[in-house]
Structure 1
């Protein structure tokens, strides 16, 4: 028995036993090859935001096909303004976020959300004009719409078409 505990053969046997145990462990451990993105319902957050602001809140009427809502929150912006954030994983598994606030000045809020103040054009979505902004170093695209009482921003790594897809399902809900 001594020859299996010393020298090269002992090392080889110990290595084989360890590899066999690791292989057996991998064989019997369930493995999922599917991506799992947690889905978070934002309806309560949107309702709470609607009760805390003096204007009708914009929110998606439905999620775009294949999109997963994965974050939502209400935060304080500049000058005490409320900000609603809704985050998504898009159908192409890019990131998109919708933010809205009545923060003043509106240009400051839009520039902070888009990480740039440079417009690169406009895009029509459902009859509304959105300003396009792009920050090259972050590969961040943004659609900005400044309304009389609030500013809407859709931003992220998603392409322009995906951002427009989110803009197309936004609807203003009655105040209250």
Structure 2
């Protein structure tokens, strides 16, 4: 018995026992090959945001087909302004975020969310014109819309058509 607890043979036996146990564990442990992106409901966050700001909040009327809402929060922006963030995994499994705030100056909020202050063009979504911004080193595209009461930014690694898809479902909800 002593020869299996010492030297090279002992090492080989211990290694074999450990590998066999690990292999057995991998065979019987449940494994999922499906992608799982947690879906988070943002309706309460949007409602709470609507009660805390003096304007009608913009929010998706419905989520674009195949998109998964996976994050949402209300945060403090510059000068105490409230900021609403809604995050998504798009149908092409890229990232997109919708942010809105009445932070002033509006240009500062838009530039911070887009990580750029330079417009590269415009994009028509329905009857609304959005400003396009692009930051190449981050592969970040942004659509910006500055309104008198609120600034809207849709940004992420999603391509322009996907960002426009999110812009197309945004609707202003009544104040309150």
TM-score in terms of structure 2 length = 0.95
Answer with 6-15 or 69-78: which moved more. Answer: 6-15
Flag the 1:7–1:79 CA change in 2: closer, same or farther, 3 A: closer
Counterpart residue number, 2:62: 62
Counterpart residue number, 1:90: 90
- Once the 2 structures are TM-superposed, how far is the Cα of residue 81 of structure 1 from its aligned partner? 1.4
Counterpart residue number, 1:41: 41
Counterpart residue number, 1:78: 78
Q: How does 1:115-154 map to 2 (within 5 A)?
A: 115-154=115-154
Matched residues in 2 for 1:11 and 1:117: separation? Answer: 63
Counterpart residue number, 1:166: 166
Q: How does 1:14-25 map to 2 (within 5 A)?
A: 14-25=14-25
Matched residues in 2 for 1:27 and 1:90: separation? Answer: 34
Please give the per-residue CA displacement for 1:87-139, whole angstroms capped at 9, x wherever unaligned: 11111221111001111111111001101101000000111100000011111
TM-score in terms of structure 1 length = 0.95
Q: Secondary structure at the match of 1:73?
A: strand
Aligned length: 176
Question: Which blocks of at least 5 consecutive residues in structure 1 are unaligned?
Answer: none
- Once the 2 structures are TM-superposed, how far is the Cα of residue 11 of structure 1 from its aligned partner? 2.6
- Once the 2 structures are TM-superposed, how far is the Cα of residue 53 of structure 1 from its aligned partner? 1.2
Counterpart residue number, 2:110: 110
- Once the 2 structures are TM-superposed, how far is the Cα of residue 23 of structure 1 from its aligned partner? 0.4
* RMSD (Å), alpha carbons: 1.2
Matched residues in 1 for 2:93 and 2:168: separation? Answer: 19
Counterpart residue number, 1:2: 2
Q: Secondary structure at the match of 1:48?
A: helix
Matched residues in 2 for 1:101 and 1:14: separation? Answer: 62
